[in-house]
Amino acid sequence: MESIRIGFFKTARLKIILLCIGLLIGVFMAIKNAYALPRGFKSTVVVGEGLHAPTSLAFAPDGRIFIAEQNGEVRIVKNGILLSAPFVVIPITFELERGLLGIAFDPKFDKNHYIYFFYTTSSSSKGNPSTPHNRVSRFTANGDMALTGSEVIILDNIPSPSDEHNAGCLRFGLDRKLYISTGDGGHDYGQNAQDLNSLNGKILRTNPNGTVPNDNPFIGQANVRAEIWAYGLRNPYRFTIHPLTGIPIIADVGDETWEEVDIGETGANYCWPFAEGPEPEGISCAYPIYAYKHGNDTIGAAIIGGVVYNGDNFPSEYTGNYFFGDFMLGYIWRMILNELNQVVSVTVFDKRAFGVVDFAEGPDGALYYITQRHGRFSSQLVKIYYEP
């Protein structure tokens, strides 16, 4: 009888162990599937160590990846290796959301070797005291280093009244004009977004040398900054230029309720601080084409745009899709747009991009993004590609 009892307990214990193993495998597979990319897509960490608070990335025509770090260093990834020597170290003011924030290559880089940066500085300049402000400057590349003394200031004295909401994205349009995003200044400075004599809370548009294009919407108007292309934005930290239409697609970081995606229109008013997301209805605004709310099942809090895919690595049905993320949530979404820039669908593409701050499409057709250190996750450069 004793041996039967022992055998019974051994059998029962074995069943429990096997059941627990089965449950653990099931949980593991559920977690794996919950975080998995769509079938055929894979991701790999290109750079997993050595990056310090990266903020923006851009591809050189020869395939090198330039990464701006908030501390003022510009790093280069060459043939998959992060070079130890920085391209340039820009003296910056580094506080919370201040620092080196944006990077863009001149459309004629192969000939002029110009690279543009958006950064916060406290250095005095013409018409500006030694207080924090944002600046767009151009540097000339000489191989993997910037030419000493090559900095040319393109646009200066963009106010930075607080250490929040500086935005700082730089993109060249198909029209070869430089588009610049600026935040409202944070805290109690939301009204700057509606002030056409302020450069804050705007999308600005200049020629590559900093002069104002003749077709900017507010050129020639009294008490209006001619650089303004669109206004009424809170913190458009990242935007992209549609590679086929040239239309900017703007991701505006929200306040307490909504994160939004806006279609850029010349002269448009997105109505911050009087409107956020789709609320309130019925006012004269350029409303977002898509918004997601804080506190629902997505729990998003800081939208990060984004690229419109136009490469040859993903399946053809992904061409023209807009990919964007959320810094806090770690999601990447796939948005399908029709020819009128209306949203057809938005689906989760990945759930592992914690701390994502910028996206770019590589010359290999892969989707690249960078992350800032976020909890237990380090700063990384990640590549998503299709391999059936």
pLDDT digits (tens, 9 = 90+) for 277-331: 999 988 899 999 999 998 755 567 899 999 999 999 999 999 999 999 999 999 9
For residue 297, what pLDDT is reported? 59
How many whole angstroms separate alpha carbon 120 and alpha carbon 12?
Answer: 67
- Give whole-number Cα distances, 132 to 71, 139, 183, 274, in Å: 15, 21, 14, 27
Q: Answer whether 0.75 is exceeded by the pTM.
A: yes
For residue 295, what pLDDT is reported? 73
For residue 282, what pLDDT is reported? 86
For residue 347, what pLDDT is reported? 97
For residue 123, what pLDDT is reported? 73
Structure token digits, residue 266 = 């010349």
Question: Would you list the DSSP string of 207-264?
Answer: -TTSPPPTT-TTTT-TTS-TTEEEE--S---EEEE-TTT--EEEEE--SSSEEEEEE-
CA 252 to chain centre: 10
How many whole angstroms separate alpha carbon 285 and alpha carbon 279?
Answer: 10
For residue 2, what pLDDT is reported? 33
- Give whole-number Cα distances, 111 to 115, 116, 137, 161, 341, in Å: 12, 15, 18, 37, 35
Q: Could you tell me if residue 58 is left (phi over 0), alpha (psi between -120 and 50 degrees) or otherwise beta?
A: beta
How many whole angstroms separate alpha carbon 251 and alpha carbon 325?
Answer: 9
Burial of 308 (0-12, 13-18, 19+ CB in 10 A): buried
For residue 124, what pLDDT is reported? 61
Cβ contacts of residue 296 below 8 Å, gap of 6+?
none
Cβ contacts of residue 47 below 8 Å, gap of 6+?
77, 82, 380, 381
What phi and psi, each to the nearest 5 degrees, are found at residue 68?
-85, 130
With tokens 């280069």, the residue in question is 76
* Residue of 256, 116, 224 whose CA lies nearest to 176: 116
What phi and psi, each to the nearest 5 degrees, are found at residue 295?
85, -5
For residue 354, what pLDDT is reported? 93
What is the chain's pLDDT, residue by residue, as a tens digit (388 residues)? 333 223 322 333 433 333 333 433 333 333 334 457 999 999 999 999 999 999 999 999 999 999 999 999 999 999 999 999 999 999 998 888 899 999 999 999 999 999 999 999 987 666 555 688 999 999 999 999 999 999 999 999 999 888 889 999 999 999 999 999 999 998 777 799 999 999 999 999 999 999 999 999 999 999 999 999 999 999 999 999 999 999 999 999 999 899 999 999 999 999 999 999 999 988 899 999 999 998 755 567 899 999 999 999 999 999 999 999 999 999 999 999 999 999 999 999 999 999 999 999 999 999 999 999 866 678 999 999 999 8
For residue 49, what pLDDT is reported? 94
